[in-house]
Structure 1
Amino acid sequence: MTHSAYYSPNQRRYQRGVSLIELMVGMVLGLIVVGAAGSIFLSNKQTYNATETLGRIQENGRIAFELMARDIREAGSTACGNNIPIANVLNTPGDTFNWGDGLRGYEGNMAAALAPFGTGAGQRVNGTQAIELRSSASGGVTVTKHVPSSAVVHVNTANHGFEPGDVLIICDYSQATIFEMTPGGAVLHIGHNTGNSGEPSGGNSCKALSFPVDPDCKDKPKDGKQYDDNAVVAKLHAAIWYIGNNSRGGRSLYRRVAGRDAEEITEGVQNMTLTYLEPGNDYRTASSISLWSDVAAVRVGLNLQAVEGALRSREITGVDGDALNRQLAHVVTLRGRNP
């Protein structure tokens, strides 16, 4: 017998494979390791999503407060300063073009012309508050000459961007007047003649721009106030902030400027609480304000709800299964009305 043909019993013992029990134990240990790794991965993913969602909520709140604060600070202000008399010679100023001390709040059951209640995209959600703000817009032009008898204001540039039918505000150190622009005969001319234009403001009831407005002006035309050289003419800025329905089936914070479509500012804003500070009082609701001209500050509270992605409707949920919500608040003082 050769050496290669020799067989040893020990050789068979060393060539034995893995038993079924050993295989099952190994598989169980492997499953435990994979399960632990998967659990850690899912936990980290949930933590990341929650952190990202909270960051999105904070960012949405920051954007909302920053943009709202710009309009609120300027409420009631003109290019010539605050707290000057305001004449309004429009035929039908309504709520939209009525100065109203530059500020007005709406409770959830109060209708607003610029933001009607409805269920369509961009329409105001019933039961939610709103705030309407008016001021002179930036980018005004300078008066070089005013001829009251001709109802024409000469300005320093032809690139003013105004068109007949626009509602404008003119002011100097003594007063301001809200009127509708009429054709002035030249590109450097801004007219303020009488007539019904068919625009929402209804044209001007009086060409005289004096304060107070003469009730007999329509029947007995007068020349009225002559604005000084270097007076300023600008568009009347009227904007409303409210909670509206967005096109994705949720709610968003909206802003609408008179003469334009509503703009969606930030998504996920479910509600807005507005209170107003009058000297000598604590913050009060809109229905409790006696004089809007006395309001010195506005406290804005927003209820923000997490939404995953700007165009997706699936909500990020918290440990209780509900969407993550945060209540944020910010106080804005009106320029020139500090208590």
Structure 2
Amino acid sequence: MNTRQSLGSPRARGFTLVELMVGMALGLVVVGIVVNILMSNLQTYRVNEDMGRLQESARTSFELMARDVREAGQNSCGARPQANVIRSGSAVPVWADMAGGSVRGYEGDQDATGLVDTGTSAGQRVSGTDAVLVIRAAPSDVIVTAHNPSGTVFTLSSAAGFAALDPVVVCDAGSAAVFQVGVVDTGAKTLNYNATDAPLNCSTGLDYPGYPVPASCGGFANKTFTSGGFMAKLASSLWYIGINANGGRSLYRTQLSTAGGGVSVVAEEIVPDVEDLQVQYLTADVSGATPVLASEWVDADSVTDWSPSATQVVVSARLDLTLHSPNKVSTDATTLERHLLSVVGLRNRETR
């Protein structure tokens, strides 16, 4: 029997044009749905990823900056009377002037002279954004085991962390002093501070009977710091919003550097995509027996005296950061933005 079927039989026919078009249309609908789901998931992933970056940037910014501001003016001995023999010309440079203000604010239209320029180049401060300077002893301190003021030599538990020309803070229970290191001998665990080896020191006397220390270099007397005191590098940091290498904005911090044979202020990028920093300050009237807190926060240009000996002394700072995501992931094709506040009390300004 012949099993071949004629070409006209129903079982030998393929799809009609209409059937093919309907099938293709249904296929396109399915593909479109799949693509839409994939794009939606990708958008959700990008939003979540950028939100995570925002959270991490906010946490890092506040943790580092708030910790620095909180410790403004601190030394390991808690000593308040403080001598400072570091001079640039005839004046104490702003990065070393702890007695003039261990925390000092700069309003958006105030220049941070001697620290960083305002401009549009990489590392420069963005105009209209606030900045805050913090000066303190670094936390990595060592023990003073002996002091020879006539020979201008300190003997330490370890001198490995110090280098020639470093600005440092030394203290004991009675007072503290800021000076520049001369020659360091790590084997003998000693360092000197004579004016020949430490050119920023205007005097080898590390004691001053009055407070705060005047701009002139007269009146310093020798003091022998007792064994058991502490010495640490001087940590001086200006926190500000600067232009980064990509032309965007980042949170920056300045550090002191002795590279090149002198002390210079070097800026480093800390957290990217930080758009703005605004800082306000709370003061307390300490002229009476009991400090009286002010009723309002004020801008930096309203504070006339930043020193710890002021009548209206700054006791707290309110940090206001604006951050944005690195990508345009919002529904209207713009970057995500977060606006965060943190209030930081100055531990060394709570009481006189």
Aligned residue for 2:271, secondary structure, equals: strand
Matching of residue 297 in structure 1 with residue 293 in structure 2? no
Task: Could you tell me which runs of 5 or more consecutive residues in structure 2 were left unpaired when the two chains were aligned.
Answer: 258-264, 285-292
Match of 2:325 in 1: 306
Distance in 1 between residues matched to 2:316 and 2:166, nearest whole Å: 30
CA deviations over 1:280-327 (Å, ceiling 9, x no partner): 2222211122443322222211111111xxxxxxx3232223222111
Q: Which has the larger radius of gyration?
A: 1
Change (3 A) 1:195 1:110: farther
Counterpart code for 2:110: M
Counterpart code for 2:222: G
- How far has the Cα of 1:18 moved from its partner? 2.1
Match of 1:61 in 2: 58
Aligned residue for 1:295, secondary structure, equals: strand
Change (3 A) 1:26 1:87: same
Aligned residue for 1:31, secondary structure, equals: helix
- How far has the Cα of 1:4 moved from its partner? 2.6
Counterpart code for 1:120: S
Distance in 2 between residues matched to 1:21 and 1:67, nearest whole Å: 68
Which structure: greater strand fraction? 2
CA contact (8 A) 1:196 1:204 kept: no
CA contact (8 A) 2:70 2:346 kept: yes
Identity of matched residues, %:
38
CA contact (8 A) 1:115 1:242 kept: no
- How far has the Cα of 1:70 moved from its partner? 2.0
Please say which of residues 275-284 and 60-69 is displaced more in the overlay: 275-284
Change (3 A) 1:229 1:28: same
Distance in 2 between residues matched to 1:212 and 1:29, nearest whole Å: 91
Matching of residue 175 in structure 1 with residue 187 in structure 2? no
Counterpart code for 2:283: E
Task: Could you tell me which runs of 5 or more consecutive residues in structure 1 were left unpaired when the two chains were aligned.
Answer: 308-314
CA contact (8 A) 1:140 1:160 kept: no
Match of 2:165 in 1: 165
Aligned residue for 2:347, secondary structure, equals: coil
Match of 2:95 in 1: 96
Superposed CA RMSD in Å reads: 2.9
CA deviations over 1:4-31 (Å, ceiling 9, x no partner): 389899x823433322222212221221
Change (3 A) 1:22 1:80: same
Change (3 A) 1:118 1:219: closer
Counterpart code for 1:261: V
- How far has the Cα of 1:49 moved from its partner? 0.9
Match of 2:287 in 1: none
Residues 102-113 of structure 1 mapped to structure 2, 5 A cutoff: 102-112=102-112, 113=114
CA contact (8 A) 1:175 1:211 kept: no
Change (3 A) 1:37 1:67: same
Change (3 A) 1:240 1:5: closer
Aligned residue for 1:284, secondary structure, equals: coil
Counterpart code for 2:167: V
CA contact (8 A) 2:181 2:198 kept: no
Matching of residue 156 in structure 1 with residue 151 in structure 2? no
CA deviations over 1:183-237 (Å, ceiling 9, x no partner): 4899443333346955xxxx2222221123698x9678x7532222212122111
CA contact (8 A) 1:152 1:184 kept: no
Counterpart code for 2:174: S
Distance in 1 between residues matched to 2:188 and 2:118, nearest whole Å: 40
CA contact (8 A) 2:43 2:329 kept: no
TM-score (norm 2): 0.82
Residues 1-339 of structure 1 mapped to structure 2, 5 A cutoff: 3-4=1-2, 12-81=9-78, 84-92=80-88, 93-99=92-98, 100-112=100-112, 113-157=114-158, 159-183=159-183, 187-194=188-195, 197-198=198-199, 203-212=200-209, 223-259=221-257, 261-279=266-284, 280-281=293-294, 282-292=296-306, 293=308, 294-307=313-326, 315-338=327-350
Distance in 1 between residues matched to 2:161 and 2:3, nearest whole Å: 108
Distance in 2 between residues matched to 1:139 and 1:6, nearest whole Å: 96
CA contact (8 A) 2:109 2:127 kept: yes
Please say which of residues 99-108 and 224-233 is displaced more in the overlay: 224-233
Change (3 A) 1:156 1:33: closer
CA deviations over 1:143-192 (Å, ceiling 9, x no partner): 222233333333333x3432332212111112111112234899443333
Match of 1:311 in 2: none
Aligned residue for 2:224, secondary structure, equals: coil
Distance in 2 between residues matched to 1:272 and 1:255, nearest whole Å: 13
